[in-house]
């Protein structure tokens, strides 16, 4: 008699099958990637005048490159926030503040909200940073709110200022009075991390010495593009026509983690973004343990391990990722059901490629 394969493997079972070096943190390697990202950004700043001399086209290329490298640097701070940068908490916090402060993203507050996202991925009400919307919530929201949520261009502003500063939906990451914080320690950490961001901002203002037009072009426009990457990456990691989320009666950590999708974007973006896009399932399963430079190896092993679990591991090659992001934003409004919630059939059909020809 054939042995029945369980629907989900346990975390301990998965970890035993992955190469143990995938869980090894290396301070020299982590520091190398942080320096590399700052060096590449610095090189772009040196080349700014050359690109701007080519007109609007040159500026667009420069902004895209600088914004993408900003997202790359954010991924280094992301490792720091999870503790996968090094075995030393003080070093993680120091380097995390350096990386995230430069990108005007308060380190400790984001660490708190993002940890909640990982602990409760695909939970209907507890998944921070990537909220799930029910039909009742969708119909109760102002039309302008829904319009902006469905418009992919709003992603340029959904990270900063809408998410981190204004605090929609999780609470402000800059204001210590935000609902995001529960203790005085967390509120003090908010002040420290926000102060680091303000310190970086002061350095930027002093550097440009009143040339606000140049400051806007060199510093703030790339930050908006970085924010676009943050919103799009998070969305596409967790959204698809077949996406599921769960209420308390059905949710578990493993079930939620396996709703994550690995997406390959191509054009070198996966490498530049430190494989956070095409190694995201492994990241969610072991978000505090696997540094970004081990994700590809862990993903290869994970795919082999999960072959008996048909359909559990999800991956897509999306060279058309901008179009996919646009299409899903417009098509998918809210989830329905109880226990296991999914997008209604009419929304799935609306998201189908042939409906957009």
pLDDT at 198 over 50: yes
Quickly tell me which residue has 């934003």 as its tokens. 329
Tokens of 290: 């696997």
pLDDT of amino acid 353: 54
The mean-pLDDT minimum among 4-8, 15-19, 225-229 falls in 4-8
CA-closest candidate to residue 115, choices 79, 92, 82, 90: 82
pLDDT of amino acid 345: 94
How crowded is residue 165: how many other Cβ atoms within 10 Å of its Cβ? 16
pLDDT of amino acid 355: 43
Supply angle C-alpha 214, 194, 84, rounded to 5. 100
CA-closest candidate to residue 77, choices 237, 274, 270, 221: 274
The mean-pLDDT minimum among 106-115, 124-133, 168-177, 229-238 falls in 124-133
Q: Are strands 315-317 and 262-264 parallel, antiparallel or unpaired?
A: parallel
Whether 62 and 51 have beta carbons less than 8 Å apart is answered as: yes
C-alpha to C-alpha distances, 115 to 88, 207, 341, nearest whole angstrom: 18, 34, 23
CA–centroid distance for 65 within its chain:
18
pLDDT tens digits for range 70-107: 999 999 999 999 999 999 999 999 999 999 999 999 99
Distance CA 223, CA 101 (A): 12
pLDDT of amino acid 210: 87
pLDDT tens digits for range 241-251: 999 999 999 99
pLDDT, mean of residues 198-218: 95
Whether 144 and 114 have beta carbons less than 8 Å apart is answered as: no
pLDDT of amino acid 200: 96
Secondary structure (DSSP) of 117-158: HHHTTTBTTT--SS---BHHHHHHS-HHHHHHHH-GGGHHHI
Whether 157 and 224 have beta carbons less than 8 Å apart is answered as: yes
Q: Report the DSSP beta bridge partners of residue 264.
A: 317
Quickly tell me which residue has 């929201």 as its tokens. 141
3-state helix, strand and coil shares in percent for the chain, rounded to the nearest 5: 60, 5, 35
């Amino acid at each position: 008699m054939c042995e029945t394969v369980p629907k989900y493997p346990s975390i301990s079972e998965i970890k035993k099958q992955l190469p143990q070096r995938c869980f090894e943190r290396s301070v020299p390697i982590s520091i190398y990637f942080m320096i590399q990202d700052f060096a590449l950004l610095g090189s772009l700043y040196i080349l700014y005048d050359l690109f701007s001399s080519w007109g609007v086209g040159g500026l667009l290329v420069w902004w895209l490159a600088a914004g993408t490298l900003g997202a790359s640097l954010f991924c280094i701070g992301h490792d720091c926030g999870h503790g996968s940068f090094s075995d030393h908490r003080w070093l993680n916090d120091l380097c995390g503040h350096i990386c995230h402060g430069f990108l005007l993203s308060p380190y400790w507050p984001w660490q708190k909200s993002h940890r909640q996202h990982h602990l409760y991925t695909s939970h209907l009400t507890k998944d921070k940073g990537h909220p799930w919307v029910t039909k009742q919530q969708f119909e109760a929201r102002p039309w302008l709110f829904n319009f902006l949520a469905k418009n992919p261009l709003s992603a340029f502003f959904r990270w900063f200022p809408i998410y981190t500063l204004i605090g929609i939906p999780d609470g402000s990451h800059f204001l210590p009075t935000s609902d995001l914080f529960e203790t005085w320690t967390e509120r003090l950490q908010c002040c420290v991390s926000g102060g680091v961001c303000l310190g970086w901002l002061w350095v930027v203002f002093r550097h440009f010495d009143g040339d606000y037009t140049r400051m806007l072009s060199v510093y703030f426009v790339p930050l908006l593009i970085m924010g676009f990457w943050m919103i799009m990456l998070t969305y596409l990691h967790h959204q698809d026509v077949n996406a599921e989320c769960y209420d308390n009666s059905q949710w578990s950590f493993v079930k939620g983690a396996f709703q994550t999708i690995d997406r390959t974007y191509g054009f070198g973006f996966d490498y530049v973004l430190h494989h956070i896009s095409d190694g995201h399932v492994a990241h969610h399963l072991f978000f505090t343990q696997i540094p970004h430079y081990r994700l590809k190896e862990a993903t290869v092993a994970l795919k082999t391990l999960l072959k008996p679990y048909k359909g559990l591991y999800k991956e897509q090659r999306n060279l058309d990722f901008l179009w996919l992001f646009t299409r899903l934003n417009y098509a998918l409004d809210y989830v329905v059901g109880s226990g296991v919630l999914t997008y209604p059939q009419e929304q799935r059909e609306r998201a189908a490629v042939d409906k957009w020809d």
